[in-house]
C-alpha cells in the first residue's frame, strides 16, 4: 500500500488514512510526498 510523508511535520501517513483528502491529519498541511521504496533496479543495456 502507498505511504505519504508530510513535508511540514514529517509524519508517515498510509493512504488508507487520507480518505480522498490530500491533507495531513496531524498538522493539516496540504503538501504530501509519496514515499518511494529503497530498492535499486538494475537495467541491462543493449
Residues annotated in a binding site: 9, 24, 27
Copy the grid coordinates of residue 6: 508530510
Binding-site entries for Zn(2+): 9, 24, 27
Residues pairing with 30 in the sheet = none
Q: How many of the other CB atoms lie within 10 Å of CB of 16?
A: 9
Could you tell me if 24 and 13 are in contact, meaning their C-beta atoms sit under 8 angstroms apart? Answer: yes
Amino acid at each position: 500500500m502507498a505511504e505519504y510523508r508530510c513535508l511540514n511535520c514529517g509524519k508517515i501517513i498510509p493512504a488508507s488514512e487520507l480518505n480522498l483528502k490530500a491533507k495531513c491529519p496531524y498538522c493539516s498541511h496540504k503538501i504530501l510526498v509519496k514515499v518511494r521504496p529503497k530498492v535499486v533496479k538494475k537495467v541491462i543495456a543493449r
